[in-house]
Amino acid sequence: MKTIPCRPPLFLFLRRKAHTWAGALLTETQKAHAHALQLGTSDAFFHARQLFDETPDLSVVSATSIIGSFARQHHHEEAIYLFSRMLLSNVRPNEFTFGTVIHSSTALGDLNIGKQLHACATKIGLHSNVFVGSAMLDLYAKLSITQDAKRAFEDTQKPNVVSYTTLIYAYLKKEKLEEALKLFQVMPERNVVSWNAMIGGYSQTGHNEEAVNLFIEMLRNGLVPNHSTFPCAIIAAANIAALGMGRSFHACAVKFLGKLDVFIGNSLISFYAKCGSMEDSLLVFNKIEERNIVSWNAVICGYAQNGKGEEAISFFKG
């Protein structure tokens, strides 16, 4: 049998929590009566660990399916623990195995495990696979390790729109706006998610005019904004008190989306209040079917910001 050219993270075998979960799951398997291959149901999930241990000729497909069943149930330490057992059994992981366990290390926020998995994928020769590369990018981006995220992106063969957008998120998270914009401009394909990343990133870092201009450019490029796009664009317009522009965004949201959700509604309430139009702010408030505490606070703060303290108190009392 050919040896896998990377060592499993053996320290995981010593982790008390992993052993505790393993023992608990083995106990639960005594209750399982569902067919072993019907992964995804609760009984089959608890049976997966026993199946992993008792399968004499474990294949990469079956091992990856079992590991994936643990990961989908948010048992990420156990998923990585089983990956270690898979390596010790000389079952060679594929790109889907790595994608699964790398996402588990991301969910755990464990950079140490993530780097070990990255090194293992590199030794096997899968680090340039777009599926593995995107998973590594996501790990480094969410943990704000932009240099490693960039390296993972550069190592990826034919990065896709997800790869580009993930690195853009990483740059924006560290307020590296120039790097994010340069990458955005060379993207071979841009979707709504990538536009949202840029508009939101500029808006959240105080570059409101740039955020508004990007939103307008998005419309000119023929893309349809979604429920995540409008709050960022509307907040940016509010921060520069662009009443006319914000009204256009409001009309645009109604045109494209019809019914506005509470998040867009709340952003519009704040927008009109910041622009001094409490009448419009109240109109939006009254049209929101499912208001939350943010909706109420936005109106109260709007009254206060516009020097209408009595109205704020009256509104608060209901």
Mean pLDDT of 155-168: 91
Amino acid code (one letter) for 86: M
Q: Which helix (H) or strand (E) holds 57?
A: none
Query: Per residue in 95-122, pLDDT tens?
Result: 999 999 999 999 999 998 999 999 999 9
User: According to the model, what pLDDT value does residue 20 have?
Assistant: 41
User: According to the model, what pLDDT value does residue 267 have?
Assistant: 96
Q: Where is average pLDDT lowest: 53-57, 69-73, 221-225, 279-283?
A: 53-57
246-284 burial code (b ≥16 CB/10 A, e <16) = bbebbebbeeebeebeeebbbbbbbbbbbbebbebbbeb
User: According to the model, what pLDDT value does residue 89 have?
Assistant: 79
Closest to 25 (Cα-Cα) out of 105, 81, 65, 88? 81
Query: Per residue in 38-66, pLDDT tens?
Result: 444 445 455 666 777 777 778 899 899 88
Sketch the domain layout of the chain as residue ranges. Answer: 1-108
User: According to the model, what pLDDT value does residue 30 have?
Assistant: 32
Whole-model pTM? 0.74
